[in-house]
Amino acid sequence: MGRFEEALPEFARALEASPDYGWAFINRGATSWELGRHGEAMAQLDRGVELSPDHVLDGAPQRGRAQELILALRSLLVIIPSAEPRILALCRTVEERFAIHQ
């Protein structure tokens, strides 16, 4: 834990391999936030939120992956409380798309 600087190149490699990998953007955003790079973090989070519903939910069972995404995003609220409106909007989108009632 706490090896945030070491994690950033790993996310960069993941994004080189798959530029539309929403989870990598979300995780890189959370990591950047922990490093005090708040502007960068918000840009990464926005991109991850934009990509995640379609990319993360590829594969089956999609409903299970959707619930997994919602839980992961809600856990980010603790790390990036200022992103609450964006995170909750994504959660609502995923819930509506997959008829999930929390």
* Cα-based torsion angle of the residue sequence 85, 40, 5, 33 in order, rounded to the nearest 10 degrees: -30
Q: Under a CB-based contact definition with an 8 Å cutoff, are residues 24 and 14 in contact?
A: yes
Distance separating alpha carbons of residues 70 and 64, to the nearest angstrom:
10
Name the 3-class secondary structure at 70. Answer: helix
Domains annotated on the chain, with CATH: 4-97 (1.25.40)
Nearest to 26 by CA among 44, 50, 2: 44
Distance separating alpha carbons of residues 96 and 26, to the nearest angstrom:
21
Report pLDDT digits (tens) over 1-16: 568 899 999 999 999 9
Nearest to 31 by CA among 59, 12, 50, 16: 12
Report pLDDT digits (tens) over 21-31: 888 888 898 88
Which segments in the chain show pLDDT lower than 70?
1-2, 52-65, 99-102
